[in-house]
Amino acid sequence: MTEPLMTLTGVGKSFAGTDALADISLEIEPGKVLCLLGDNGAGKSTLIKILSGYHAPTTGTIEVDGKQVVFSSPRDASAAGIATVHQYGGTFPLMSVGRSFFVGAEPTKGWGPLKYFDKATANKVAIRELKSLGITRINDGNRLVGGMSGGERQSLAIARAVYFGARLLILDEPTAALGVKEAAHVLKIIMQARQKGIAVVFVTHNVLHAMTVGDRFAVLIHGRKADDFMKGERTREQITDLMAGGEAMAELEAEIAQYESQA
Amino acid sequence: MSIDLSTATLKAMPSPPPEAKESPFQRMTRRPEMGALAGTVLVFVFFSIVGGQNFLSIGGASAWLNVASELLIIAIPVGLLMIAGELDLSVGSVLAASSMTLAIISGYLGLPMIIGFVAALGIGALAGLVNGIITARTNVPSFVVTLGMNFGLAGITLGLSRAITGTTSVPITVDPVFKNLFGSLVGGQFEVAIFWAIAVALVIAWVLQMTPWGNWVFAIGGDKDSARATGIPVPRVKITLFVLSGLGAAFVGVIQTCMYNSAQTTNGQSFVFNSIIAVVIGGVLLTGGYGSVIGMVLGAITFAIVNQGIYYTGWSSDWASFILGALLLAAVLMNNTFRRLALSSGPKKTSGKKA
């Protein structure tokens, strides 16, 4: 077993006395996809915000490469190689592809006060990296990001994270807003990143998508880790039931079956 | 049970064809100032026809150039703030405070011009700094913060002026050097402010388009959280932008004081909305993330042509406001259209996303 990239031990977070998250322990390994499953409000977003440095945990410890760390800002987390990509790509709709690719790390030409943004290089690199992820439609870095499809924007954001040396890629519901084909494309990109040895945390409530790419799974319910298992240890039905809180889902399914038999 | 991701399947997926090369026209429609350019041409042609020879004379040109350049020195930094998603409604009182500071220190108190000049700009920078720190640290919308500053600073200016000088209008004898630099007329008609406006436009256009810092301004206005996540020091950039906006307004305060050899506490309030009008006509998106300095220049020129052109038509100048109001609305509608074009230009999307 490889050394975990990141280890969470007993991590919890409370907001104004309410526990949003309690006692979460996870190991995130390089070259593996950890799927974080849970219904809306289960605490997935809070956990992502802790992983990416937006929130400091109230309890528990985080270790990166076996050393305890405290992220006081997203900048600390990205310095440690942690990149987060949000549902809509976290990209800037009215910026050009080249510009948005390099936001915060703009390439420059010239020197001293005459140093200027190297648009040609920015555009070239952005297009090249997009191509490497199979996005071939866009071939002009001046194109606005808002003109791309949802999947293309996800790909742009992932390409950006990988280009800037992310070791841990946190993908927050990357497939939720996508059509079938685009979702498959994003899943393929996740596998590409995994192959490069990047650790991936894939947050989703789509069990099918999770089972396609996941090596390891953790299910959150009401801010707690309800289950934790490896690929192949659970069936799709078991996971779905668990996420929805078991009984409630069975009842609902029975009711649906009733309507179906009436039809 | 799982989605088949084997290479064969993905290869079989028809990948959308690469986009065709754009025509230069398509490329142009993606620029934020396209709507503004159309507006400028429209009003220029309109007043050339209705206003005739007088509007087209040197005197006519200087009239709108003078108005446009003072407006621009304020509107460009305000527009930069708007690209970053913030507003500054305090420029009116900052202008008044700066011009009163100069007139009281170097006129009423008789101290050297340079002291009054530095203090006047200092007041502008300080007001911007306060606006910026409050906005960045408290998350109170800048609309409220700067509106409060506009009223608060107007009160301080009025109160202090009356307490110190006993009046709200202070004369000043402007030193020849300062007169030449800031308050003179070139060729008897063109305010020297025109050159300052050109300088401001060139420098800020360079900064916005060609520096990483300029890219940060767009990013902050586009998506503040994503910008922060990439490591951009969002509060610091915003505070700097507010300081620039304060400096722009204070600088026009200095220009007006040197021009008219006096300062009034009520100066400048018209700039609060005029600067926003110019910037919005210029294609800057009110919610941030989109705009250009060229657009702002065109917006200010459009505003000034309407504002001054009306005098050459023989109509009552009351109608200028009506034209400006209608123009503002038309400009926003046109800019929205151009922005939609910019977002959709290029090939039709064929992949998975079928709305």
Nearest of B236, B272, B244 to residue B133 by alpha carbon: B236
pLDDT for B323 beyond 90: no
Ranges of each domain in chain B = 32-337
Q: Answer yes or no: do A68 and A167 share one domain.
A: yes
Q: Answer yes or no: do A163 and A250 share one domain.
A: no
Tell whether A215 is covered by a domain.
Answer: yes
Q: What ipTM goes with this model? A: 0.78
Q: Answer yes or no: do A178 and A100 share one domain.
A: yes
Q: Answer yes or no: do A218 and A241 share one domain.
A: no
Mean pLDDT of A203-211: 88
Q: Answer yes or no: do A242 and A192 share one domain.
A: no
Mean pLDDT of A170-194: 88
- From chain B, the residues in CB contact with A132 under 8 A are none
Tell whether A99 is covered by a domain.
Answer: yes
Q: Answer yes or no: do A66 and A178 share one domain.
A: yes
How many domains are there within chain A?
Answer: 2
Question: What contacts A207, CB < 8 A, 6 or more positions away?
Answer: A37, A236, A239, A240, A243
* Contact criterion met (CB below 8 Å) for A134 and A185: yes
Q: Where are the beta strands (DSSP E) in B187-317?
A: 190-191, 262-264
Tell whether A28 is covered by a domain.
Answer: yes
The pLDDT, as a whole number, for residue A234 is 84
- From chain A, the residues in CB contact with B223 under 8 A are 90-92
CATH number of the domain bearing residue A219: 3.40.50.300
The pLDDT, as a whole number, for residue A240 is 80
Tell whether A112 is covered by a domain.
Answer: yes
Mean pLDDT of A185-211: 90
Mean pLDDT of B324-352: 72
Nearest of A16, A150, A8 to residue A93 by alpha carbon: A150
Q: Answer yes or no: do A141 and A242 share one domain.
A: no
Count of CA atoms in the C-beta half-sphere (13 A) of A131 = 11
Query: Which of B27, B83, B351, B354 should we substitute to test contact with A (largest number of A Cβ atoms within 10 Å)?
Result: B351
Mean pLDDT of A140-147: 86
> How many other CB atoms are found less than 10 A from the CB of residue B340?
12
Q: Answer yes or no: do A121 and A193 share one domain.
A: yes
Q: Do A92 and B218 touch (CB under 8 A)?
A: yes
Q: Answer yes or no: do A188 and A263 share one domain.
A: no
Q: Say how far apart CA B66 and CA B59 lie, in whole Å.
A: 10
Q: Answer yes or no: do A152 and A99 share one domain.
A: yes
Q: Answer yes or no: do A76 and A159 share one domain.
A: yes
Class of domain B32-337: mainly alpha
Mean pLDDT of A137-153: 85
Q: Answer yes or no: do A195 and A241 share one domain.
A: no
Domain that holds residue A219: 6-232
Query: Which of B10, B19, B216, B230 should we substitute to test contact with A (largest number of A Cβ atoms within 10 Å)?
Result: B230
Tell whether A1 is covered by a domain.
Answer: no
